[in-house]
Structures are given as structure tokens and as C-alpha cells.
Amino acid sequence: MTEEQLAVLEKFGFRVEGEQLKHFKLGIVREKEEFARFSSTEELQAYVKQILRNQCLWKRQE
């Protein structure tokens, strides 16, 4: 992962732990490779927003 990609992920609340990225507030745990495949920061931001949106919707239904 590039420093730019890590900066985007940290901006949205993710933290790196080994080979995983974790969002502690929402309980999201994903592998680094899932995010490393994006070539532009715009694509990565859109994907992260989608993950966060889906997680929030899922938590509301509980």
C-alpha cells in the first residue's frame, strides 16, 4: 500500500494492525489487499465510503 492510500484510510478511521485494517468504532476488520488494489485515491475513497455506509445501515437494523 502507498502512503497516499494509508492516509485516505486513516482519514476515515481505519488503523493498520499487521496485515489488517481495523475500524474500531464500527468493528470493521479487512485485509490490506482489499484496499491496495485501487489505482486512484478517488476510487479508494468511494469504496471506503460504501463500506462505512453499509456498516452503519447494518448496525441500525440491529
Looking at residue 57, its pLDDT comes to 83
Residues 6 or more apart whose Cβ sits within 8 Å of residue 58 = none
Looking at residue 31, its pLDDT comes to 95
Looking at residue 16, its pLDDT comes to 94
User: Do residues 9 and 22 lie in contact, with contact meaning Cβ atoms separated by under 8 Å?
Assistant: no
Looking at residue 37, its pLDDT comes to 92
Which pTM does this prediction carry? 0.84
Q: What is the pLDDT of residues 6-56, one digit of tens each?
A: 999 999 999 999 999 999 998 999 999 999 899 999 999 999 999 999 998
Looking at residue 60, its pLDDT comes to 75
29 phi and psi angles, rounded to 5 deg: -130, 120
